[in-house]
Amino acid sequence: MRLAIGAVGRMKAGPETELLERYSDRARKAGKAVGITELAIREIAESRAAKVQARRDEEAANLLKNLAPEAFIVCLDESGRALGSEALSRLVQSRLDDGTSEIGFLIGGPDGHGGAVRQRASLTLAFGSATWPHQLVRVMLAEQLYRAVTILTGHPYHRA
């Protein structure tokens, strides 16, 4: 199964990018033991449309076109449901068990997600009720995916 982080906007060089790469690389390496073949990070440009709804719609279409049609979609949004690390690992395991080819974790732009992403999403996930900078959300998500993989492999990284 492939894990994909789709995000609006580009990361710039700096400590956030280094952390993102560190956790992504760890998740890729550890994930092979449980059938995770890839952790892809796909960035799309922010829309330059004049109206908010048009920006959301364009960004949603671009996020979704990078995913397999049958992908399990997780929309990251502060209005979503908070999941603990163990619950996230169970979600990944259940998708592995049912043969899902891809889980797409989608991070919207400054205006939020368009309707197409929200409609396709099987889960809306929040990292608390605060609004986080998109660069930090990517790092936190990559760390949580690495943590989920270590829980699945029995690695001691996660200590409950």
Per-domain boundaries in the chain: 2-153
The pLDDT value given to residue 133: 87
> Residue type for 4, please?
A
pTM (2 d.p.) = 0.94
Structure tokens at 89: 């690992």
Domain 2-153 has CATH 3.40.50.720: no
Q: How confident is the model at residue 40 (pLDDT cuts 50, 70, 90)?
A: very high
Question: What does the alpha-carbon distance between residue 116 and residue 120 come to, in Å, rounded to a whole number?
Answer: 6
Confidence tier at 6 by pLDDT (50, 70, 90): very high
Distance CA 66, CA 13 (A): 23
